[in-house]
Amino acid sequence: MTDAPELQAERSSALQWRVWCRYCRAFHYHGIGAGHRAAHCATTTPYTATGYTLIAPKADQERSL
């Protein structure tokens, strides 16, 4: 549907996931849930045009099976 890249998320807290942004060189924090998100980049990056798709942390993928 989109050209949004997929980023592996990791658990940050009970309520948040985080993804490493190679452009901002920082973590961006998102509410839990795999799927497409608007980029949280503070400046214009390749992600801001498309957003990105969060991939669930492995532990959560296993739990959901």
Q: Which is nearer to Zn ion, 44 or 61 (CB)?
A: 44
User: Shortest approach of Zn ion to residue 33 CB, angstroms?
Assistant: 19
User: For residue 4, what are the contacts with CB-CB under 8 A and spacing of at least 6?
Assistant: 36, 50, 51, 52, 53
| Rounded Cα gap, residues 11 and 50, in angstroms | 23
Q: Which is nearer to Zn ion, 38 or 59 (CB)?
A: 38
User: Shortest approach of Zn ion to residue 25 CB, angstroms?
Assistant: 8
The residues of the shown chain that bind Zn ion, judged by CB under 5 A, are: 21, 24, 41
The 8-class DSSP code of residue 13 comes to S
